């Protein structure tokens, strides 16, 4: 047995745990490890790996100087979860100090502290990025989630078992309200495809509904969808809230899960408004970027408009609303407001089971 001082150990944070899992299970293919410097700089400069493969978001492992020093002495770094389980061993081949403000400006388009990932880069990322081949020992556990955290092979196998040739994947980090369900139905019709509801359950943005609660909400919504044409799998991805770049990244990941189509939202992976009250990303910029790369993506974008609820008509795109029709507000924010006020939640906005799950959350959740 090695002496403790002969082993360099790094306990992974929540984002790093997600990244390691998706590297290990093939969701981040063609990546097999955290980016080295040449790939990192290429991703920042041109949204591609050094070999030219499309990849818009850096996946990096940051550590403090003392951890790098220990790993440099041993030549390797044991990656461990917070419970003390060894998940992987990295053979250390590269280490460098990135310009984190430049990364924020390039990938996120901003250094504004109102952007959660800009704040993360400023205050939570350690000064050294490291890389090298990884040998995986175990996968991260998800004890608070239902057994629906499927790897790409399992999802592709289930799609094949069901005989689906066209599958449209739907991404969300929020509980699904009525407009989300209507968007999925539209996407299925537009693509002529079955639906893979594939919500993110890794770290998202501060203040979001906890993943375990959202998972129960997704299960409730799935009971209202066509059982022979829809399935649910949970994706342990750590969102960067990087807007258009992230939409492109999400599409590449869903391609690896076997989807043939992917729903791109009007403000996909947007973190809301900046310090001056302006949206961080223009509406539909994500759809434009994904569409511009469609030929090489290997997955077709399904670009849908914003939907609104119209009395006596259901969910419609804004340009479909009849004159003088009564339009109702749709948003997760409005849903939470109703719950805080103790007001009844209409079923067109949220299924009763979803509303009950959210109503049970403490006010600060």
The pLDDT score that the predictor gives to residue 2 is 41
Rounded to whole angstroms, the Cα distance separating 108 from 96 reads 21
Kindly report whether the peptide bond that precedes residue 200 is cis, defined as omega within 30 degrees of 0.
Answer: no
Of 174, 205, 334, 336, the active-site residue reads 174
Q: Which fold has domain 152-308?
A: Rossmann fold (3.40.50)
* Percent with pLDDT over 90 in the chain: 82
Residue found by looking up tokens 């175990």 in the block: 138
Alpha helices in 124-177 (DSSP H): 152-162
pLDDT for the residue numbered 177? 87
Q: Active site residue: 15, 139, 173, 255, which one?
A: 173
H/E run at residue 308: strand 307-310
Angstrom distance (rounded) from CA 358 to CA 335: 9
pLDDT at 365: 52
Mean pLDDT of the chain: 94
For domain 4-136, say whether CATH 3.10.400.10 is its number: yes
* The predicted structure's pLDDT at residue 346: 87
- Residues 359, 362, 363, 365: is their CA dihedral positive or negative? negative
Phi, psi of 172 (to 5 degrees): -155, 155
User: Cα separation of 288 and 291, whole Å?
Assistant: 5
- What confidence score (pLDDT) does residue 4 get? 47
Instruction: List, by residue range, all CATH 3.40.50.620 domains of the chain.
Output: 152-308
The Cα 147–Cα 168 span in angstroms is: 22
Q: What is the CA radius of gyration of the chain?
A: 21
Q: Where are the alpha helices (DSSP H) in the chain?
A: 14-24, 37-46, 65-74, 100-103, 116-123, 152-162, 178-191, 211-222, 244-256, 285-292, 294-297, 332-341, 352-359
Query: Is 223 noted as a catalytic residue in this protein?
Result: no
Residues 100 and 125 sit within 8 Å (Cβ to Cβ): yes
Is 174 annotated as catalytic? yes
Catalytic residue among 67, 172, 204, 260: 172
186: which residues sit within 8 A by CB, 6+ positions away?
304, 307
Query: Which residues on neighbouring strands pair with residue 131, listed in sequence order?
Result: 94
Is position 173 annotated as part of the catalytic site?
yes
How many Cβ atoms sit within 10 Å of the Cβ of residue 128? 19
Cβ–Cβ under 8 Å, residues 38 and 50 = yes
pLDDT tens track, the chain, 365 positions: 344 456 899 999 999 999 999 999 999 999 999 999 999 999 999 999 999 999 999 999 999 999 999 999 999 999 999 999 999 999 999 999 999 999 999 999 999 999 999 999 999 999 999 999 999 999 999 999 999 999 999 999 999 999 999 999 999 998 998 889 999 999 999 999 999 999 999 999 888 889 999 999 999 999 999 999 999 999 999 999 999 999 999 999 999 999 999 999 889 999 999 999 999 999 999 999 999 999 999 999 999 988 999 999 999 998 999 999 999 877 776 777 787 788 888 888 888 888 888 888 876 55
Where are the CATH 3.10.400.10 domain residues in the chain? 4-136
Predicted TM-score of the model (pTM): 0.94
Q: Smallest Cα–Cα separation from 21: which of 138, 158, 128, 121?
A: 138
Rounded CA separation 361/365 (Å):
6
> What are 331's two structure tokens?
């948003």
Pairing of strands 261-264, 9-11: unpaired
Q: For residue 5, what pLDDT is reported?
A: 53
């Amino acid at each position: 047995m090695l002496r403790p001082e002969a082993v360099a150990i790094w306990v992974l944070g929540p984002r790093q745990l997600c990244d390691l899992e998706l590297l290990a299970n093939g969701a981040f293919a063609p990546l097999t490890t955290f980016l080295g410097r040449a790939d990192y700089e290429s991703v920042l400069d041109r949204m591609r790996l050094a070999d030219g493969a499309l990849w818009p978001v850096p996946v990096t492992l940051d550590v403090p100087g003392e951890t790098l020093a220990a790993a440099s002495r041993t030549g390797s770094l044991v990656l461990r979860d917070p419970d003390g389980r060894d998940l992987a061993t990295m053979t250390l081949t590269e280490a460098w100090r990135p310009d984190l403000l430049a990364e924020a400006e390039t990938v996120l388009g901003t250094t504004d502290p109102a952007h959660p990932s800009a704040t993360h880069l400023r205050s939570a990322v350690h000064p050294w990025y490291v890389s090298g081949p990884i040998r995986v020992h175990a996968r991260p556990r998800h004890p608070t989630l239902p057994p629906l955290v499927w790897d790409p092979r399992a999802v592709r196998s289930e799609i094949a078992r069901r005989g689906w040739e066209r599958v449209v994947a739907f991404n969300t980090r929020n509980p699904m309200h009525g407009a989300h369900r209507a968007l999925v139905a539209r996407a299925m019709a537009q693509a002529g495809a079955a639906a893979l509801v594939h919500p993110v359950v890794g770290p998202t943005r501060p203040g979001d509904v906890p993943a375990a609660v959202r998972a129960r909400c997704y299960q409730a919504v799935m009971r209202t969808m066509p059982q022979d044409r829809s399935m649910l799998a949970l994706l342990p991805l750590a969102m960067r809230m990087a807007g258009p770049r992230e939409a492109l990244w999400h599409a590449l990941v869903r391609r690896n899960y076997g989807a043939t189509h992917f729903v791109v939202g009007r403000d996909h992976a947007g973190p809301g408004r900046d310090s001056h009250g302006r949206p961080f990303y223009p509406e539909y910029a994500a759809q434009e970027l994904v569409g511009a790369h469609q030929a090489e993506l290997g997955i077709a974008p399904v670009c849908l408009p914003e939907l609104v609820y119209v009395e006596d008509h259901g969910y419609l795109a804004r340009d479909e609303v009849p004159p003088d029709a009564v339009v109702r507000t749709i948003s997760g924010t409005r849903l939470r407001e109703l719950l805080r006020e103790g007001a009844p939640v209409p079923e067109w906005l949220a299924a009763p089971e979803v509303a009950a799950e959210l109503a049970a959350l403490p006010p600060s959740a």
